[in-house]
Amino acid sequence: MHRRDFTTHLLRAGALAALPLPAAERQPLRDVANARHLLAGAAVSYRELQREDCRALLAREASILVSENDMKWQSIHPAPDRYDYTRADALLAFAKTSNAKVRGHNLCWHQQLPRWFPSTATSGNAGELLRAHIAEVAGHYAGRIHSWDVVNEAVFVEDGRSDGLRKSPWLELAGPSYIDLAFTTAAKADPQAILTYNDYDLEQDTEAHEAKRRAVLALLKGLRARNVPVQALGIQSHLVASTSPYQWSGFHRFLDGAEKLGLTIFITELDVDDTALPADIADRDRQVAACYQDFLSNALKHHNLQAILTWGFTDPDTWLNHFHPRKDGTPQRPLPFDGQLQPKPAYFAMEQSIEAAPRR
């Protein structure tokens, strides 16, 4: 049996957790993706970047990387008049040696703002603070970033505004035009990076996700109509495994809408929250993998999808253990590699969905 058929068979049979596949016998995911003109990779923390075994794994598997935290305002702009590029530069240096592209995350967000921000930012200076930060940071990395998450998570329908925008410090201090300002400033500072709007909760066929999709699409339409240089949509894809599989009609309509606007699409932060699944590891890994496969095989139907990144790559380092711990106290298993850096069923689900993707 061909290895791919064998993998499919095992995935269906739920036996993949036990499949021994030495790294030397596997084609790296980056090569599988490259054959489909796709980029594949992951978010990386500074701690992981210090580990030789993680570097080797990433060098082998990832053609695109993003810093989990080190390009955010809090890390890169620690004082009003000081920028610290140490950690982010280390990622770029590693990416250069491993011939991987780097996404920039992010230039404008309501979270992980520096401690000095609340006492310094006012309605009088917020626009200029944003402009200066983006000009400086995107300028520092000009020509070296594949794509920037210029604005992250600006939509939050639950805040009750008719335009669906989040009542973030940026909105409250600078007004809704802060989004236009962020993109136009980024375009000036780095004309080569693909300028991206990035958000979450866009995947499921629920009323809440549908409302968010509507608001995000309306935002993107407005930006394009005003000739604001937004070029890509980043879909975070923090999925939640459940016993009832997702339906994808709303998601497909949404991606069709983004494609009509001429936007490139990236899956930017893929992982699968397993809090609703039983503790048994083989069962959990199988259901998480099924979720990866279901999602990716749907997303990959869209030709504008160019890159797939998971949010982290080994289970022990997932943000989910801090933000959404399992009730039974066992650690979550949301990512393609386990703590021994061995590929899990989710890895093979990624590989298989990418191999099966229509040519682009």
- Copy the structure tokens of residue 215: 């608001």
Report the distance separating Cα 307 and Cα 264, nearest Å. 9
Nearest to 180 by CA among 140, 132, 219, 125: 219
Per CB under 6 A, does 69 bind ligand G3I?
yes
Which residue in the set 68, 315, 317, 351 belongs to the binding site for ligand G3I (CB under 6 A)?
Answer: 68
Q: What type of residue is 168?
A: S
The residues assigned a catalytic role are 153, 269
Nearer to ligand G3I, 234 or 352 (CB): 234
| Alpha helices per DSSP H over 152-248 | 169-174, 178-189, 207-225
Per CB under 6 A, does 112 bind ligand G3I?
yes
The CB-of-196 to ligand G3I minimum distance in angstroms stands at 12
CA dihedral 99, 95, 304, 189 (to 10 degrees): -120
Nearest to 108 by CA among 212, 199, 208: 199
Report the distance separating Cα 273 and Cα 286, nearest Å. 13
Site for ligand G3I (CB under 6 A): how many residues?
Answer: 8
Site for ligand G3I in 7-66 (CB under 6 A): none
The CB-of-275 to ligand G3I minimum distance in angstroms stands at 15
Q: Are 230 and 183 in contact (CB under 8 A)?
A: yes
The CB-of-73 to ligand G3I minimum distance in angstroms stands at 11
The CB-of-268 to ligand G3I minimum distance in angstroms stands at 8
* Cis, peptide link before residue 227, omega less than 30° from 0: no
| Alpha helices per DSSP H over the chain | 3-13, 29-34, 46-49, 52-61, 73-76, 86-97, 117-120, 126-140, 169-174, 178-189, 207-225, 249-260, 281-299, 320-323, 345-355
Nearer to ligand G3I, 236 or 264 (CB): 236
Per CB under 6 A, does 269 bind ligand G3I?
yes
Counting Cβ atoms within 10 Å, is residue 42 exposed (0-12), middle (13-18) or buried (19+)? buried
The CB-of-323 to ligand G3I minimum distance in angstroms stands at 6
Per CB under 6 A, does 275 bind ligand G3I?
no
Which residue in the set 204, 236, 293, 332 belongs to the binding site for ligand G3I (CB under 6 A)?
Answer: 236
The CB-of-317 to ligand G3I minimum distance in angstroms stands at 9
- Copy the structure tokens of residue 278: 């039983």
Q: Which helix (H) or strand (E) holds 265?
A: strand 264-273
Per CB under 6 A, does 203 bind ligand G3I?
no
Per CB under 6 A, does 319 bind ligand G3I?
yes
Nearer to ligand G3I, 269 or 285 (CB): 269
Site for ligand G3I in 128-157 (CB under 6 A): 152
Per CB under 6 A, does 249 bind ligand G3I?
no
Nearer to ligand G3I, 6 or 323 (CB): 323
Q: Which residues bind ligand G3I (CB under 6 A)?
A: 68-69, 111-112, 152, 236, 269, 319
